[in-house]
Amino acid sequence: MKRFFLFSVTYLVLAMIILFMFRDAPVAQLVDSVARTKDTVSAFVKYFPYLAVALGAIFLATRQFANKNMAKEAAWAFAGCLIFSTAFTFVKTSMPYIQPFYADVLFANWDKALHGGVDPWVWTHKFAPYISEKAVATLYFIIWGLPAAFLPFIIAATDNDEARRRRFVILYCFVWIGLGNVVALLGSSVGPVYYDRLLGGERFADLIGALGSSGIVGGKIGVVQDGLWRIYSEYSQSIGSGISAFPSVHVGVSTLTMLYLCERSKWLAPVGIAFLAAIQFCSVYIGWHYAIDGYFSFAAVLGVWFGLRIWANRRAPETQISGQHAVA
């Protein structure tokens, strides 16, 4: 996990270079970020009770408890998580200045065509009478936020399998940087909820109406959505800010979490699968993503995970042979 910490520091340095290359008044942006440090730390501290519950659940399901070495690894991972989140925010808020939003018309048309000529959000809102806005907000922000912000820490604190730790930390970085930065630049888009604000017209006016009827607009989710657009419009930034629809980092993180839970325990596997399905559904329901944003992320994370497994299996015999020669 020390390598993850060092990688996070490097990522932060690169993020600051990007900030100075593409943003106006980069010094002011940095000063503003420092001024918000207290709020950032407070946001992380609020997660501590949820982290305790998550760690306890994994300990009970796997019967594997932390030791001194794991505690040291967890400390490195926690520091890395804080730095990593800051770096990602710098990059994500700078992305529209590198590649302006351009792909929404294309993605909206593909999404509709793929789902029989009907926008996927229409199907999800058939369940609106049975869905609580508060429950969706809790799932989408708090529960999802645990693996999103702290998965390397959770892995370090609960897992002494070095190969698995390495594999999922690599996958974690792929989700945030590979999908959330690189691919997101290639498919720069804002998503259905911001479509009309960006392009004008009433392409998703019915969605906005449905979000109002279901309580999303007036609830926490609506407040966050408006806040993100305001931050984007004011050329500002705060931890977790930035707009990017394709591909879905929410679904990418959920797929990563599902795979990890499935590897850890048969008791945790159903939780991971249900979590992934719920996040994909909610991403479309609240208008944050086109359905294809999630489909792409799921396929990409699954493919990289499968590739890492194959690489690890091929490398294992070589490691064993090297160990035997060393002993001889």
pLDDT, tens digit (0-9, with 9 covering 90-100), for 48-74: 787 888 888 888 887 776 677 778 888
pLDDT of 265 strictly over 80: yes
pLDDT at 3: 92
- Report the pLDDT averaged over residues 157-184: 94
Cα dist. 102→36, 51, 125 in Å?
31, 38, 27
- Report the pLDDT averaged over residues 6-17: 94
pLDDT at 318: 56
Q: Which of 157-166, 192-201, 310-319 has the lowest mean pLDDT?
A: 310-319
pLDDT of 177 strictly over 60: yes
Higher pLDDT, 174 or 25: 174
Higher pLDDT, 240 or 277: 277
If phi > 0 it is left, if psi is from -120 to 50 it is alpha, else beta; for residue 242 that is left
pLDDT at 324: 44
pLDDT of 230 strictly over 60: yes
pLDDT at 65: 67
Q: Which of 153-162, 184-193, 318-327 has the lowest mean pLDDT?
A: 318-327
Q: Quick one: what percent of the chain has pLDDT higher than 70?
A: 87
Which of 282, 277, 268 has its CA nearest to residue 140? 282
- Report the pLDDT averaged over residues 281-290: 96
Higher pLDDT, 18 or 232: 18
Tell the residue number behind the tokens 């009433």, with chain if given: 202
Q: Which amino acid is at 256?
A: L
Q: How many CA atoms lie within 13 A of 12 on its CB side?
A: 16
Reported as a pLDDT band with limits 50, 70 and 90, residue 175 is very high
Across the chain, what does the average pLDDT equal? 87
Cα gap 94→30, rounded to integer Å: 13
Helix (H, G, I), strand (E, B) or coil at 14: helix
- Report the pLDDT averaged over residues 294-312: 94
pLDDT at 33: 67
pLDDT of 150 strictly over 50: yes
- Report the pLDDT averaged over residues 272-283: 97
pLDDT of 238 strictly over 60: no
pLDDT at 323: 46
Extract long-range pairs of 192-197: CB within 8 Å, 24+ residues apart. 192/108, 192/119, 192/121, 192/245, 192/287, 192/288, 192/289, 192/290, 193/225, 193/286, 193/287, 193/288, 194/225, 194/229, 194/243, 195/104, 195/108, 197/229
Higher pLDDT, 325 or 302: 302
Over the stretch 100-149, which tens digit does the pLDDT of each residue have? 999 999 999 999 999 999 999 999 999 999 999 999 999 998 899 999 99
- Report the pLDDT averaged over residues 274-295: 96
- Report the pLDDT averaged over residues 279-284: 97
- Report the pLDDT averaged over residues 276-284: 97
Q: Which of 51-65, 152-166, 233-247, 312-326 shows the highest mean pLDDT?
A: 152-166
pLDDT at 326: 40
